[in-house]
Amino acid sequence: MSTDLRTQFLNYMTLQRFAKETKRHYVTAVRGLAKFYNQSPDTLTNDQIQEYFRHLLEDRELSWGTYNYFSGILCFYRNICKWDETQFNLPPRPSIKKLPTVFSMEEVKRLFAATTNLKHLALLETVYSTGLRRSEVVHLKPHHIESNPSRMTIRVKQGKGNKDRYTILSNCHMILTRSYYATRKPPCKYSLPLSVKSCRHLQKIPNGDLKANSDSFVFCIHGLRPL
C-alpha cells in the first residue's frame, strides 16, 4: 500500500474517531492484501479480493475477529476507493456465541499458589477481585485506586466502549497492592506497570507460572473474571 493511500486511510479513521488499535489492525489488513498480490490495493478486482478472503478462511483458518481483517478491508474499499455495495461482497458472518470457562475456587487457589512472582500475583489477583479486562489492568494508575474506607473502589478510565466505570476494591487486593509497592517501588505513573506488549504478556502469565511449577492445568486470563 502506497504512503498516500495509507495516509488517506489513517486520516479517514482519525476523523471517524476510530480507536488507535482499530486503526492499526485495519491498516495491517489492507497491507496484508496488497502484499499477497504484490500490487497496490486500489488496482485489485473484486475476484482477487474474494480469493484473498478464501485464502484467509481456508488456508490460514482465520476467524472473523482475527485482526479485523474483513472489516478493515471493507472499510478501505468503501470509504477510500469509493466502491459501492454492488462491487464488493463479504463472506457471511457466522452467528456464534461462546461462554467463557470460569474456574473454580480450588483452581484459582492452585494458580495463585504457583505464582511466585509478586508482580504476576498482583496482576492476577487484580483481574480476579475486580473483574477488570487485560487492557484495563495494564492502564491502571495509582490515582484510580480509591482506598478510603468510605469508598473502596477502583475507577476504570475509558474501558471497553470508551466508557468510564467503577468497580469494587477488596481489602485483600488493597493489601497485596500495597505490598507490591512497598517491595518493588514501581514508577508512580502506572499501578502495575508492564512492557508495551503487556496485554499479551498478561495472557501468558498464568500458564508460564504453572509450567515453572510443573502444574499441567491450562489457564486463560479471562477465566479469572467474574461473570
- Convert the pLDDT of each residue in 190-217 to its tens digit: 555 443 345 556 666 655 555 555 454 5
Given a contact cutoff of 8 angstroms between Cβ atoms, the answer to whether 183 and 167 are in contact is no
Residue 65 pLDDT exceeds 70: no
- The whole-number pLDDT of residue 214 equals 46
Average pLDDT of the chain is 78
Domains with residue ranges and CATH for the chain: 3-87 (1.10.150.130), 105-224 (1.10.443.10)
Given a contact cutoff of 8 angstroms between Cβ atoms, the answer to whether 80 and 8 are in contact is yes
Least confidently predicted of 22-26, 118-122, 185-189, 219-223: 185-189
d(Cα 205, Cα 197) in Å, to the nearest integer? 13
pLDDT bin (cut points 50, 70, 90) of residue 6 is very high
- The whole-number pLDDT of residue 194 equals 44
Angstrom CA distances, 197 to 134, 136, 203, 217, stand at 11, 14, 10, 24
